[in-house]
Amino acid sequence: MNIIILGAGRVGESVAESLVSEQNDITVIDTDPQRLRLLEDRLDLRGVVGNGIQPSVLLDAGAKDADMLIACAANDDTNLVVCKVAHDVFNVPSTIARLRSPEFVEGDALLGKSGFAVDHVICPEESVTRYIHQLIRYPEALQVLEFADGRASLIVVRATNGGALVGHTIGEFRERFPHAQMRVVALYRLDAEIEATPQTRILAGDEVFVLADTEKIRYVLGAIHNIDRPVQRVMIAGGGKVGLRLARSLVGQCEVKLIERDKRRCEYLASQLPSSVLILNGDGADEDLLQDESVGQMHLFLALTNDDEDNIMSSMLAKRMGAERVMALINRRAYADMMQGSTIDIAIAPAQTVIGELLTHLRRGDVVAVHSLRRGAAEAMEAVARGDAKTSKLVGRRVEDVKWPSGTRLGAIVRGEGRRSEVLMPHHDTVIETDDHLILFIPNKRQVRQVEKLFQVGATFFG
Protein backbone atom coordinates (compact mmCIF):
# COMPACT_ATOMS: atom_id res chain seq x y z
CA MET A 1 0.00 0.00 0.00
CA ASN A 2 1.02 3.60 -0.54
CA ILE A 3 0.76 5.25 2.87
CA ILE A 4 1.41 8.84 3.93
CA ILE A 5 2.23 9.48 7.58
CA LEU A 6 1.99 13.02 8.93
CA GLY A 7 4.33 13.60 11.86
CA ALA A 8 7.71 12.04 12.59
CA GLY A 9 7.36 12.15 16.37
CA ARG A 10 7.41 9.11 18.61
CA VAL A 11 4.05 7.77 17.45
CA GLY A 12 4.68 8.54 13.78
CA GLU A 13 8.13 6.98 13.95
CA SER A 14 6.80 3.78 15.52
CA VAL A 15 3.99 3.58 12.98
CA ALA A 16 6.42 4.07 10.11
CA GLU A 17 8.79 1.45 11.47
CA SER A 18 6.01 -1.11 11.77
CA LEU A 19 4.49 -0.43 8.35
CA VAL A 20 7.83 -0.34 6.50
CA SER A 21 8.54 -3.85 7.76
CA GLU A 22 5.40 -5.00 5.94
CA GLN A 23 6.71 -3.84 2.58
CA ASN A 24 4.45 -0.81 2.26
CA ASP A 25 5.55 2.32 0.39
CA ILE A 26 5.81 4.92 3.15
CA THR A 27 6.16 8.69 2.89
CA VAL A 28 6.53 10.74 6.08
CA ILE A 29 5.75 14.46 6.24
CA ASP A 30 7.26 16.63 8.97
CA THR A 31 8.42 20.22 9.42
CA ASP A 32 11.74 19.09 10.93
CA PRO A 33 14.24 18.12 8.16
CA GLN A 34 16.77 16.69 10.62
CA ARG A 35 14.21 14.33 12.12
CA LEU A 36 13.19 13.16 8.65
CA ARG A 37 16.82 12.66 7.64
CA LEU A 38 17.38 10.37 10.63
CA LEU A 39 14.30 8.37 9.70
CA GLU A 40 15.39 8.04 6.06
CA ASP A 41 18.83 6.84 7.14
CA ARG A 42 17.31 4.14 9.35
CA LEU A 43 14.22 3.05 7.42
CA ASP A 44 13.31 2.44 3.78
CA LEU A 45 10.96 5.40 3.35
CA ARG A 46 10.76 8.86 1.81
CA GLY A 47 10.63 12.09 3.80
CA VAL A 48 8.90 15.29 2.70
CA VAL A 49 9.63 18.51 4.57
CA GLY A 50 6.68 20.84 5.03
CA ASN A 51 3.32 21.58 6.59
CA GLY A 52 1.00 18.69 5.80
CA ILE A 53 -2.16 20.79 5.76
CA GLN A 54 -0.94 22.49 2.58
CA PRO A 55 -2.18 20.75 -0.59
CA SER A 56 1.15 21.37 -2.33
CA VAL A 57 2.99 19.41 0.37
CA LEU A 58 0.50 16.55 0.18
CA LEU A 59 0.86 16.53 -3.59
CA ASP A 60 4.64 16.34 -3.19
CA ALA A 61 4.15 13.38 -0.84
CA GLY A 62 2.18 11.49 -3.49
CA ALA A 63 -1.36 12.03 -2.18
CA LYS A 64 -2.83 11.46 -5.65
CA ASP A 65 -1.75 7.81 -5.52
CA ALA A 66 -2.03 7.24 -1.75
CA ASP A 67 -4.19 4.42 -0.38
CA MET A 68 -4.14 5.75 3.19
CA LEU A 69 -3.17 8.79 5.21
CA ILE A 70 -2.29 8.49 8.90
CA ALA A 71 -2.19 11.83 10.72
CA CYS A 72 0.02 11.56 13.82
CA ALA A 73 0.93 15.21 14.41
CA ALA A 74 0.98 16.54 17.96
CA ASN A 75 -2.12 18.74 17.54
CA ASP A 76 -5.66 17.49 16.97
CA ASP A 77 -6.56 20.44 14.75
CA THR A 78 -3.67 19.71 12.38
CA ASN A 79 -4.66 16.06 12.08
CA LEU A 80 -8.30 16.93 11.42
CA VAL A 81 -7.47 19.45 8.69
CA VAL A 82 -5.00 17.12 6.97
CA CYS A 83 -7.61 14.35 6.76
CA LYS A 84 -10.13 16.81 5.30
CA VAL A 85 -7.70 18.08 2.66
CA ALA A 86 -6.52 14.54 1.79
CA HIS A 87 -10.10 13.39 1.24
CA ASP A 88 -11.61 16.45 -0.48
CA VAL A 89 -8.66 17.42 -2.69
CA PHE A 90 -6.97 14.10 -3.41
CA ASN A 91 -9.69 11.51 -2.75
CA VAL A 92 -7.44 9.47 -0.47
CA PRO A 93 -9.58 6.35 0.21
CA SER A 94 -8.78 5.90 3.92
CA THR A 95 -7.82 8.41 6.60
CA ILE A 96 -6.77 7.82 10.22
CA ALA A 97 -6.24 10.59 12.75
CA ARG A 98 -4.57 10.65 16.13
CA LEU A 99 -6.99 12.65 18.30
CA ARG A 100 -6.40 13.32 21.98
CA SER A 101 -9.66 15.11 22.71
CA PRO A 102 -12.40 12.77 24.03
CA GLU A 103 -14.97 14.92 22.22
CA PHE A 104 -14.02 13.44 18.85
CA VAL A 105 -15.39 9.91 18.72
CA GLU A 106 -15.13 7.58 15.74
CA GLY A 107 -18.47 7.36 13.96
CA ASP A 108 -19.66 10.86 14.90
CA ALA A 109 -21.17 12.90 12.07
CA LEU A 110 -18.54 15.57 12.68
CA LEU A 111 -15.86 13.11 11.55
CA GLY A 112 -17.90 11.79 8.61
CA LYS A 113 -17.20 12.41 4.93
CA SER A 114 -19.14 15.67 5.01
CA GLY A 115 -17.25 16.74 8.12
CA PHE A 116 -13.52 16.23 8.72
CA ALA A 117 -13.47 12.97 6.70
CA VAL A 118 -11.75 10.90 9.40
CA ASP A 119 -12.45 7.20 8.88
CA HIS A 120 -10.75 5.95 12.03
CA VAL A 121 -9.56 7.55 15.27
CA ILE A 122 -6.55 6.48 17.31
CA CYS A 123 -5.76 7.87 20.75
CA PRO A 124 -2.53 6.54 22.31
CA GLU A 125 -3.50 7.88 25.74
CA GLU A 126 -6.81 6.00 25.67
CA SER A 127 -5.11 2.86 24.34
CA VAL A 128 -2.53 2.97 27.14
CA THR A 129 -5.28 3.44 29.74
CA ARG A 130 -7.20 0.40 28.44
CA TYR A 131 -3.97 -1.61 28.37
CA ILE A 132 -3.16 -0.73 31.99
CA HIS A 133 -6.73 -1.47 33.07
CA GLN A 134 -6.42 -5.04 31.83
CA LEU A 135 -3.18 -5.47 33.77
CA ILE A 136 -4.85 -4.13 36.91
CA ARG A 137 -7.78 -6.47 36.38
CA TYR A 138 -5.42 -9.44 35.94
CA PRO A 139 -2.29 -8.52 37.95
CA GLU A 140 -0.60 -11.88 37.41
CA ALA A 141 -0.39 -11.28 33.63
CA LEU A 142 2.28 -9.50 31.60
CA GLN A 143 -0.17 -8.75 28.81
CA VAL A 144 -3.91 -9.25 28.24
CA LEU A 145 -5.42 -8.84 24.76
CA GLU A 146 -9.09 -9.34 23.92
CA PHE A 147 -10.71 -10.83 20.83
CA ALA A 148 -14.25 -11.44 19.54
CA ASP A 149 -15.84 -8.61 21.52
CA GLY A 150 -14.16 -9.84 24.69
CA ARG A 151 -15.23 -13.49 24.43
CA ALA A 152 -11.65 -14.77 24.12
CA SER A 153 -8.37 -13.39 25.46
CA LEU A 154 -4.68 -13.92 24.91
CA ILE A 155 -2.77 -13.69 28.17
CA VAL A 156 1.00 -13.66 28.56
CA VAL A 157 2.40 -14.94 31.86
CA ARG A 158 5.86 -15.58 33.23
CA ALA A 159 6.35 -19.02 34.75
CA THR A 160 7.59 -18.68 38.33
CA ASN A 161 8.89 -21.13 40.88
CA GLY A 162 6.08 -22.45 43.04
CA GLY A 163 3.48 -22.05 40.30
CA ALA A 164 1.65 -24.80 38.47
CA LEU A 165 3.68 -24.45 35.25
CA VAL A 166 7.33 -24.80 36.24
CA GLY A 167 8.67 -28.32 35.91
CA HIS A 168 5.59 -29.62 34.11
CA THR A 169 4.91 -30.24 30.44
CA ILE A 170 2.15 -28.36 28.64
CA GLY A 171 0.22 -31.63 28.40
CA GLU A 172 0.49 -32.22 32.15
CA PHE A 173 -0.78 -28.71 32.87
CA ARG A 174 -3.87 -29.35 30.76
CA GLU A 175 -4.52 -32.63 32.56
CA ARG A 176 -4.24 -30.98 35.99
CA PHE A 177 -6.76 -28.28 35.06
CA PRO A 178 -9.21 -29.91 32.64
CA HIS A 179 -11.88 -27.25 33.20
CA ALA A 180 -9.62 -24.42 32.04
CA GLN A 181 -10.78 -23.62 28.52
CA MET A 182 -7.32 -22.67 27.28
CA ARG A 183 -4.47 -23.44 24.90
CA VAL A 184 -0.76 -22.60 25.01
CA VAL A 185 -0.02 -21.07 21.60
CA ALA A 186 3.57 -19.95 22.15
CA LEU A 187 6.47 -20.25 24.55
CA TYR A 188 9.53 -18.00 24.74
CA ARG A 189 12.69 -18.83 26.66
CA LEU A 190 15.56 -16.33 26.92
CA ASP A 191 13.90 -14.31 24.15
CA ALA A 192 13.81 -17.27 21.73
CA GLU A 193 10.67 -19.14 20.70
CA ILE A 194 10.42 -22.75 21.88
CA GLU A 195 8.08 -25.18 20.13
CA ALA A 196 4.95 -25.49 22.29
CA THR A 197 4.00 -29.18 22.12
CA PRO A 198 2.27 -31.28 24.80
CA GLN A 199 5.72 -32.70 25.64
CA THR A 200 7.40 -29.29 26.09
CA ARG A 201 8.53 -28.82 29.70
CA ILE A 202 8.15 -25.30 31.10
CA LEU A 203 11.01 -23.72 33.07
CA ALA A 204 11.11 -20.78 35.47
CA GLY A 205 11.31 -17.50 33.56
CA ASP A 206 9.55 -18.78 30.44
CA GLU A 207 7.00 -16.45 28.85
CA VAL A 208 3.87 -18.46 28.14
CA PHE A 209 1.20 -17.25 25.70
CA VAL A 210 -2.20 -18.68 26.56
CA LEU A 211 -5.44 -18.26 24.61
CA ALA A 212 -8.49 -18.75 26.80
CA ASP A 213 -12.19 -18.18 27.17
CA THR A 214 -12.32 -14.76 28.87
CA GLU A 215 -14.70 -16.13 31.48
CA LYS A 216 -11.96 -18.62 32.46
CA ILE A 217 -9.03 -16.20 32.61
CA ARG A 218 -9.12 -15.72 36.35
CA TYR A 219 -9.31 -19.47 36.87
CA VAL A 220 -6.39 -20.03 34.48
CA LEU A 221 -4.23 -17.34 36.09
CA GLY A 222 -5.09 -18.62 39.56
CA ALA A 223 -4.06 -22.11 38.49
CA ILE A 224 -0.75 -20.85 37.10
CA HIS A 225 0.26 -18.61 40.02
CA ASN A 226 -1.77 -20.12 42.87
CA ILE A 227 -2.98 -16.62 43.82
CA ASP A 228 -5.95 -14.44 42.99
CA ARG A 229 -5.43 -11.16 44.82
CA PRO A 230 -7.07 -8.02 43.43
CA VAL A 231 -5.26 -4.69 43.16
CA GLN A 232 -6.63 -2.42 45.90
CA ARG A 233 -3.93 0.25 46.38
CA VAL A 234 -2.43 2.16 43.45
CA MET A 235 0.12 4.98 43.35
CA ILE A 236 0.53 6.98 40.13
CA ALA A 237 3.53 9.23 39.45
CA GLY A 238 2.58 11.76 36.78
CA GLY A 239 -0.70 13.63 36.41
CA GLY A 240 -0.59 14.17 32.66
CA LYS A 241 -3.21 12.97 30.18
CA VAL A 242 -2.61 9.28 30.85
CA GLY A 243 -2.33 9.69 34.63
CA LEU A 244 -5.56 11.70 34.79
CA ARG A 245 -7.45 9.26 32.56
CA LEU A 246 -6.29 6.31 34.62
CA ALA A 247 -7.00 7.91 38.00
CA ARG A 248 -10.48 8.91 36.87
CA SER A 249 -11.23 5.39 35.63
CA LEU A 250 -10.07 3.80 38.91
CA VAL A 251 -12.34 5.88 41.16
CA GLY A 252 -14.48 3.52 43.22
CA GLN A 253 -12.40 0.49 42.30
CA CYS A 254 -9.35 1.01 44.48
CA GLU A 255 -7.45 3.50 46.64
CA VAL A 256 -5.54 5.94 44.42
CA LYS A 257 -2.66 8.30 45.21
CA LEU A 258 -1.50 10.62 42.44
CA ILE A 259 1.87 12.42 42.53
CA GLU A 260 2.37 15.46 40.28
CA ARG A 261 5.37 17.82 40.26
CA ASP A 262 3.63 20.90 38.83
CA LYS A 263 1.56 22.77 41.42
CA ARG A 264 -0.83 24.31 38.88
CA ARG A 265 -1.44 20.89 37.35
CA CYS A 266 -2.22 19.59 40.84
CA GLU A 267 -4.87 22.27 41.21
CA TYR A 268 -6.38 21.26 37.87
CA LEU A 269 -6.31 17.57 38.85
CA ALA A 270 -8.09 18.42 42.10
CA SER A 271 -10.87 20.07 40.07
CA GLN A 272 -11.23 17.02 37.84
CA LEU A 273 -11.03 14.18 40.37
CA PRO A 274 -13.14 13.39 43.45
CA SER A 275 -11.78 13.93 46.94
CA SER A 276 -11.25 10.18 47.34
CA VAL A 277 -8.16 10.52 45.09
CA LEU A 278 -5.24 11.87 47.12
CA ILE A 279 -3.27 14.36 45.00
CA LEU A 280 0.29 15.01 46.12
CA ASN A 281 2.49 17.85 44.86
CA GLY A 282 5.97 16.37 44.58
CA ASP A 283 8.49 14.25 42.69
CA GLY A 284 7.73 10.58 42.03
CA ALA A 285 11.43 9.83 42.53
CA ASP A 286 11.56 11.54 45.96
CA GLU A 287 12.46 8.75 48.38
CA ASP A 288 11.16 10.65 51.43
CA LEU A 289 7.81 11.33 49.77
CA LEU A 290 7.40 7.70 48.72
CA GLN A 291 8.30 6.57 52.23
CA ASP A 292 5.83 8.99 53.84
CA GLU A 293 3.05 7.81 51.50
CA SER A 294 3.74 4.10 52.23
CA VAL A 295 4.81 3.07 48.74
CA GLY A 296 5.85 -0.29 50.21
CA GLN A 297 2.18 -1.09 50.86
CA MET A 298 1.11 -0.41 47.29
CA HIS A 299 -0.12 -3.28 45.16
CA LEU A 300 0.83 -1.29 42.05
CA PHE A 301 3.09 1.70 41.34
CA LEU A 302 2.83 3.36 37.91
CA ALA A 303 5.28 5.94 36.55
CA LEU A 304 3.40 7.83 33.81
CA THR A 305 5.26 11.11 33.32
CA ASN A 306 6.55 12.33 29.93
CA ASP A 307 10.17 11.67 30.92
CA ASP A 308 11.49 8.13 30.33
CA GLU A 309 14.42 8.50 32.72
CA ASP A 310 12.20 9.80 35.53
CA ASN A 311 9.77 6.92 35.01
CA ILE A 312 12.55 4.35 35.08
CA MET A 313 14.17 5.79 38.21
CA SER A 314 10.94 6.25 40.17
CA SER A 315 9.74 2.74 39.28
CA MET A 316 13.02 1.14 40.31
CA LEU A 317 12.99 3.12 43.55
CA ALA A 318 9.38 2.14 44.30
CA LYS A 319 10.23 -1.51 43.71
CA ARG A 320 13.25 -1.33 46.00
CA MET A 321 11.07 0.25 48.68
CA GLY A 322 8.60 -2.62 48.60
CA ALA A 323 5.92 -1.86 45.99
CA GLU A 324 4.50 -5.21 44.95
CA ARG A 325 4.39 -4.49 41.22
CA VAL A 326 5.71 -1.56 39.19
CA MET A 327 5.03 -0.34 35.65
CA ALA A 328 6.73 2.44 33.73
CA LEU A 329 5.67 4.38 30.65
CA ILE A 330 8.73 4.35 28.37
CA ASN A 331 8.58 6.04 24.97
CA ARG A 332 12.00 5.06 23.68
CA ARG A 333 11.76 1.56 22.31
CA ALA A 334 15.37 0.69 23.17
CA TYR A 335 14.78 1.66 26.80
CA ALA A 336 11.51 -0.28 26.94
CA ASP A 337 13.13 -3.43 25.55
CA MET A 338 16.00 -3.14 28.01
CA MET A 339 13.84 -2.58 31.11
CA GLN A 340 11.03 -5.08 30.40
CA GLY A 341 11.12 -7.91 32.94
CA SER A 342 13.98 -6.39 34.96
CA THR A 343 13.39 -4.50 38.21
CA ILE A 344 10.48 -2.96 36.34
CA ASP A 345 7.77 -5.59 35.95
CA ILE A 346 6.18 -4.12 32.83
CA ALA A 347 7.51 -1.43 30.49
CA ILE A 348 4.67 0.22 28.57
CA ALA A 349 5.53 1.63 25.14
CA PRO A 350 2.65 3.99 24.19
CA ALA A 351 3.24 3.86 20.45
CA GLN A 352 3.18 0.06 20.44
CA THR A 353 -0.26 -0.01 22.04
CA VAL A 354 -1.79 1.65 18.95
CA ILE A 355 0.08 -0.34 16.30
CA GLY A 356 -2.46 -3.16 16.48
CA GLU A 357 -5.33 -0.73 15.93
CA LEU A 358 -3.64 0.57 12.80
CA LEU A 359 -2.74 -2.88 11.49
CA THR A 360 -6.38 -3.94 11.71
CA HIS A 361 -7.23 -1.32 9.07
CA LEU A 362 -4.37 -2.46 6.82
CA ARG A 363 -5.05 -6.17 6.76
CA ARG A 364 -6.65 -7.84 3.75
CA GLY A 365 -9.45 -10.36 4.11
CA ASP A 366 -12.06 -10.11 6.85
CA VAL A 367 -9.67 -9.19 9.67
CA VAL A 368 -11.39 -8.02 12.85
CA ALA A 369 -8.50 -7.45 15.26
CA VAL A 370 -4.70 -7.43 15.24
CA HIS A 371 -2.35 -7.23 18.19
CA SER A 372 1.37 -6.67 17.80
CA LEU A 373 3.49 -8.96 20.00
CA ARG A 374 7.12 -9.46 20.88
CA ARG A 375 8.05 -5.84 20.02
CA GLY A 376 6.41 -6.14 16.60
CA ALA A 377 8.05 -9.42 15.55
CA ALA A 378 4.90 -11.53 16.03
CA GLU A 379 1.15 -10.99 15.80
CA ALA A 380 -2.10 -12.33 17.12
CA MET A 381 -4.90 -11.96 14.59
CA GLU A 382 -8.65 -12.45 14.63
CA ALA A 383 -10.29 -12.99 11.24
CA VAL A 384 -13.65 -14.29 10.05
CA ALA A 385 -14.02 -17.30 7.76
CA ARG A 386 -16.44 -16.34 4.96
CA GLY A 387 -17.91 -18.09 1.96
CA ASP A 388 -18.46 -21.82 1.53
CA ALA A 389 -16.51 -24.92 0.59
CA LYS A 390 -16.32 -23.75 -3.06
CA THR A 391 -15.20 -20.17 -2.46
CA SER A 392 -13.17 -20.44 0.76
CA LYS A 393 -9.86 -22.04 1.62
CA LEU A 394 -11.13 -22.56 5.18
CA VAL A 395 -14.89 -23.15 5.38
CA GLY A 396 -15.89 -26.82 5.40
CA ARG A 397 -12.33 -28.01 5.98
CA ARG A 398 -10.83 -29.72 8.97
CA VAL A 399 -8.10 -27.81 10.78
CA GLU A 400 -5.49 -30.41 9.80
CA ASP A 401 -6.36 -30.03 6.09
CA VAL A 402 -5.73 -26.27 5.96
CA LYS A 403 -2.33 -25.26 4.62
CA TRP A 404 -1.31 -22.99 7.50
CA PRO A 405 1.95 -21.05 7.06
CA SER A 406 4.84 -22.62 8.96
CA GLY A 407 4.66 -21.90 12.69
CA THR A 408 1.19 -20.30 12.55
CA ARG A 409 -1.11 -21.73 15.21
CA LEU A 410 -4.87 -21.65 15.40
CA GLY A 411 -5.50 -21.00 19.09
CA ALA A 412 -9.27 -20.67 19.32
CA ILE A 413 -12.50 -20.49 17.34
CA VAL A 414 -15.37 -18.28 18.48
CA ARG A 415 -18.59 -19.62 16.98
CA GLY A 416 -21.96 -17.88 17.08
CA GLU A 417 -22.98 -14.34 17.87
CA GLY A 418 -23.44 -12.38 21.09
CA ARG A 419 -24.32 -14.24 24.26
CA ARG A 420 -24.90 -17.46 22.36
CA SER A 421 -21.35 -17.58 21.09
CA GLU A 422 -18.98 -20.25 22.35
CA VAL A 423 -15.20 -20.44 22.53
CA LEU A 424 -13.80 -23.64 21.04
CA MET A 425 -10.30 -25.01 21.46
CA PRO A 426 -9.92 -26.59 17.99
CA HIS A 427 -8.49 -30.06 17.45
CA HIS A 428 -7.03 -31.52 14.28
CA ASP A 429 -10.43 -32.79 13.13
CA THR A 430 -12.46 -29.65 13.99
CA VAL A 431 -14.37 -28.46 10.90
CA ILE A 432 -14.32 -24.70 10.27
CA GLU A 433 -17.76 -23.20 9.62
CA THR A 434 -18.96 -20.04 7.88
CA ASP A 435 -18.70 -16.93 10.10
CA ASP A 436 -16.33 -18.60 12.58
CA HIS A 437 -13.96 -16.12 14.20
CA LEU A 438 -10.49 -17.69 14.07
CA ILE A 439 -7.81 -16.44 16.45
CA LEU A 440 -4.28 -17.18 15.32
CA PHE A 441 -0.77 -16.70 16.65
CA ILE A 442 1.69 -15.74 13.90
CA PRO A 443 5.31 -15.94 15.13
CA ASN A 444 6.79 -14.12 12.13
CA LYS A 445 5.20 -11.04 10.56
CA ARG A 446 6.50 -12.11 7.17
CA GLN A 447 3.82 -14.81 7.17
CA VAL A 448 0.95 -12.37 7.60
CA ARG A 449 0.27 -12.05 3.86
CA GLN A 450 0.01 -15.85 3.55
CA VAL A 451 -2.47 -15.93 6.43
CA GLU A 452 -4.53 -13.13 4.89
CA LYS A 453 -4.83 -15.06 1.64
CA LEU A 454 -6.48 -17.94 3.51
CA PHE A 455 -9.32 -15.62 4.52
CA GLN A 456 -9.87 -14.06 1.11
CA VAL A 457 -12.93 -15.47 -0.61
CA GLY A 458 -12.52 -16.39 -4.25
CA ALA A 459 -15.24 -16.50 -6.91
CA THR A 460 -14.62 -20.15 -7.78
CA PHE A 461 -12.16 -21.59 -5.31
CA PHE A 462 -12.15 -25.41 -5.34
CA GLY A 463 -9.14 -26.10 -3.13
169 within a domain of the structure (yes/no): yes
Could you list the beta-strand ranges (E) of 76-132: 94-98, 120-122
Which pLDDT band holds residue 177 (cuts at 50, 70, 90)? confident
Q: Give the confidence band of 268 by pLDDT, cuts at 50, 70, 90.
A: very high
Whether 68 shows a pLDDT value over 80: the answer reads yes
Tell me the C-alpha distance between 438 and 382, whole Å: 6
What is the pairing mode between strands 68-71 and 2-6?
parallel
* One domain, residues 330 and 237: yes
**Is residue 135 one of the residues assigned to a domain?**
no
Range of the domain at 390: 363-455
Picking from 360, 335, 323, 324, the residue whose alpha carbon sits closest to that of residue 452 is: 360
pLDDT band at 228 (very low <50, low <70, confident <90, very high): low
Instruction: Please check the confidence at residue 461 and state whether its pLDDT lies above 60.
Output: no
pLDDT score of 30 more than 70: yes
Residue 132 falls within a domain, yes or no? no
Do 67 and 146 lie in a common domain? no
The string of DSSP codes covering 176-231 is H-TT--EEEEEEEETTEEE---TTPBP-TT-EEEEEEEGGGHHHHHHHHHS-----
How high is the mean pLDDT of the chain? 89
Count of structural domains, the chain: 4
Per the domain annotation, does 404 fall within a domain? Answer: yes
Residue 452 has pLDDT above 70, yes or no: yes
Least Cα distance to 358 among 34, 94, 102, 166 occurs for 94
Instruction: Name which of 10-24, 240-254, 264-278 the model is least confident about.
Output: 10-24
pLDDT at 331: 82
92 domain residue, yes or no: yes
Domain boundary among 225, 254, 289: 225
User: CA-to-CA distance for 448 and 359, rounded, in angstroms?
Assistant: 11
User: How distant, in Å, are the alpha carbons of 97, 123, 127, 210, 377 from that of 105?
Assistant: 11, 10, 14, 32, 31
Band the pLDDT of 365: cuts 50, 70, 90: low
Phi, psi of 256 (to 5 degrees): -125, 130
Does 287 share its domain with 342? yes
Looking at the structure, tell me whether residues 242 and 217 fall in a common domain: no
Same domain? For 297 and 340 the reply is yes
Strands ordered across the beta sheet of 278-281: 278-281, 255-260, 233-237, 300-303, 326-329, 346-348
Is 67 within a domain? yes
Check whether residue 251 and residue 338 sit in a common domain: yes
> At which of 325, 351, 377 does a domain end?
351
Q: Is residue 432 part of a domain?
A: yes
On whether residue 170 sits in a domain, the answer given is: yes
From CA 445, how far away is CA 461, in angstroms rounded?
26
Domain check: are 51 and 118 in the same one?
Answer: yes
Please tell me which residue, 2 or 191, carries the higher pLDDT value.
2
| Full-model pTM | 0.82
CATH label of the domain that carries residue 65: 3.40.50.720
422-459 burial, b at 16+ Cβ within 10 Å, e below that, comes to: ebbbbeeebebeeebbbbbbbbebebbeebbebbbbee
Contacts of 35 by beta carbon, 8 Å cutoff, 6+ apart: 8
20 and 113 in a single domain? The answer is yes
337 and 316 assigned to the same domain: yes
Are 296 and 277 within one domain?
Answer: yes
The CA distance from 185 to 207, in Å, is 11
Check whether residue 329 and residue 370 sit in a common domain: no
For residues 198 and 169, give the distance between their C-alpha atoms in angstroms, rounded to a whole number: 6
**Which residues, including other chains, have CB under 8 Å from residue 65's CB and lie 6 or more apart?**
2
State the pLDDT confidence band at 354, using cuts at 50, 70 and 90: confident
Q: Using the 3D structure, point to which of 225, 259, 278 is the last residue of a domain.
A: 225
Contact present, 277 and 239 (Cβ < 8 Å): no
- Domain check: are 316 and 371 in the same one? no
Within 13 Å of residue 383, how many CA atoms lie on the same side as its CB? 29
CATH number at 402 reads 3.30.70.1450
Give the single-character DSSP code of 263.
Answer: H
Instruction: Output the pLDDT for position 462.
Output: 45
